[in-house]
């Protein structure tokens, strides 16, 4: 749910998400930009409590997936601030952090994430070649932002086959959540369906 990045949802709307989605459906919730971009990981307990209050109809249902923390590209590595934020995360929820500045991709950061069972989000984009495929939890989260070999951000058949092989290897470690963010021209839907086909072929 990308809308939660911009504003807190009404509880009635969240209840409708749960009621209107099919069995087995999972929602990944994008954490408010107020926490990631304005406060930059400060005051996490208060901000997360406000979000969880609005998400209450979804929380602890079988449809609650991971929480996505997408940090801004200009936010440089700050181990102390990250450690403080991680300590505030409820252990019963799955959290994934997507870093967009190269300085974050370092072993001390991975160690902090591992220590709290938090996943390093694998954000695939050709403008971020420093992105690591490091696994820091017993599950992982992959965001497909922009294909580098297809036209206009579409993922090519070769790319999807390569990613299918990678995701199979990730699944040896646990659950894998895959989301396509290249939604213009319907690429995300087509790419997602094709990736699923590749798994079914296997």
**148 contacts 131 by C-beta, under 8 angstroms:** no
| CATH number of residue 24's parent domain | 3.20.20.410
What backbone torsions phi and psi does residue 116 show, to the nearest 5 degrees? -115, 10
Q: How many CB atoms lie within 10 A of CB 200?
A: 7
- Give the percent of the chain with pLDDT over 90: 91
**Count of domains forming the chain:** 1
How many residues belong to the chain? 202
Domain that includes residue 109, residue range:
2-201
Summarize pLDDT for 1-51 with one digit per residue, the tens.
999 999 999 999 999 999 999 999 999 999 999 999 999 999 999 999 999
Across the chain, mean pLDDT equals 95
Neighbours of 173 (CB within 10 A): 12
Neighbours of 80 (CB within 10 A): 9
């Amino acid at each position: 749910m990308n809308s939660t990045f911009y504003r807190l949802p009404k509880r009635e709307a969240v209840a409708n998400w749960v009621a209107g989605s099919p069995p087995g459906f999972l929602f990944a919730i994008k954490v408010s930009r107020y926490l990631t971009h304005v406060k930059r990981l400060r005051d996490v307990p208060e901000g997360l409590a406000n979000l969880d209050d609005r998400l209450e109809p979804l929380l602890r249902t079988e449809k609650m997936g991971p929480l996505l923390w997408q940090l801004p590209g200009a936010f440089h590595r700050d181990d102390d601030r990250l450690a403080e934020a991680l300590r505030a995360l409820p252990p019963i929820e799955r959290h994934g952090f997507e870093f967009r500045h190269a300085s974050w991709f370092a072993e001390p950061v991975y160690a902090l994430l591992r220590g709290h069972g938090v996943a390093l989000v694998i954000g695939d984009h050709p403008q971020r070649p420093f992105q690591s495929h490091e696994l820091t939890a017993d599950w992982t989260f992959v965001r497909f932002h922009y294909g580098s070999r297809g036209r206009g951000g579409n993922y090519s058949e070769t790319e999807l086959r390569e990613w299918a092989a990678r995701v199979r290897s990730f699944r040896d470690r646990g659950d894998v959540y895959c989301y396509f963010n290249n939604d213009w021209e319907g690429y995300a839907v087509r790419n997602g369906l094709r990736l699923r086909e590749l798994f079914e072929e296997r």
